[in-house]
Amino acid sequence: MRIGIVNDSTIAVEALRRTLAQRPGLEVAWVAHDGAQAVALCAPVPPDLVLMDLVMPVMDGVAATREIMRRTPCPILIVTSDVGHHASLVFDAMGAGAVDAVDTPVLGTPGRARPASSLLAKIEAIAAQQADARVPPPVVAPATAKGTDALVAIGASAGGPAALATLLGRLPANFAAGVIVVQHVDDAFAPGMATWLDQQTSLSVRLAQAGERPRAGVVLLAGGNRHLRVEASGRCVYTDEPTQAVYRPSIDVFLQSVAENWRARAVGVLLTGMGRDGAAGLGAMRSQGFITIAQDRATSAVYGMPKAAAEAGAASEILALPTIAPQLVALFGTV
């Protein structure tokens, strides 16, 4: 796996080099000391992964992420000194197409060191996601059943925060359907993302709690490193199964549960993201007669998941991001 490092700190670069050296198969492709240099180095041959700092001279990590995803898309992992302190920038970078974020490892004595295990785990997960993207989606057998209220079931990954802000921001406060969102995000960032999204829309956004039902005017965001499902009762539940799923939470697991258990009106929406998580679940929903929407290529920060859904025939409609909310309002109305 060829990895590009983007960081203006010599100490941080050395820490990242030593971290990558701990795993066979991880190779430093190049080192850039600012965002503009990273964009230029990605141009000839994009690496398999870019480790991107946020605060740098010339071009910051958010702008560099946006440019790389526009010109030569490749997986980008935000690696910065304090993810919590830079939460707003992290969400901006994820909205531009970054897949995840983690604190920079710190070398030194045990009392002052920050272990490299979290970064290595993120890299391994991204490698697994890339492998999953090359595997055709499974053939989904029709489900047997069809809550109690109208539901919009949304899945998103890389580029998702910005896309969700746009979509949810265009829904009125009196929107007549409940909304559940599964966004690929580290469980440490989920509460902050719920708070951030709540500021982008007139709807109420919060983390989904086990046992609650979706209701009109409320957006429930999957939280924690577990899968979210809806039961036949319409209640949300968290589960560790299937344990072999590449993504946690998995969009496929969530949408499949909607296809199997939701007995009222529902629409499935698959937004920007890397890989193909959600394509099979969206197909399961369509096979049960639900309307299914995939974001189009032109407005997707990363045209991976929506493309997989479109190619599999899982989407009954392919829509530009700005038109999805008006379509949902036309379908469900207001209260």
Q: Taking 70 as the threshold, does the pLDDT of residue 296 lie above it?
A: yes
Q: What's the pLDDT at 19?
A: 94
More confident residue, 259 or 138: 259
Token reading at 334: 């207001």
pLDDT tens-digit series, residues 131-156: 765 555 554 444 443 434 899 999 99
Whole-structure pTM over 0.85, yes or no?
no
pLDDT tens-digit series, residues 92-137: 999 899 998 999 998 765 555 567 888 999 999 888 877 765 555 5
Where in the sequence numbering do the catalytic residues fall? 157, 184, 277
H or E element in which residue 27 lies: strand 27-32
Q: What's the pLDDT at 140?
A: 45
pLDDT tens-digit series, residues 8-44: 999 999 999 999 999 999 999 999 999 999 999 999 9
Map tokens 């994820």 to a residue. Answer: 94
Q: Name residue 239's beta-bridge partners.
A: 227
H or E element in which residue 206 lies: strand 204-207
Query: Average pLDDT over the chain, rounded to whole?
Result: 90
Q: Which of 222-226, 230-234, 292-296, 326-330 has the lowest mean pLDDT?
A: 222-226
The fraction of the chain above a pLDDT of 70, given in percent, is 93
pLDDT tens-digit series, residues 161-187: 999 999 999 999 999 999 999 999 888
Q: Give the DSSP letter of residue 181.
A: E
Nearest to 90 by CA among 181, 161, 32, 7: 161
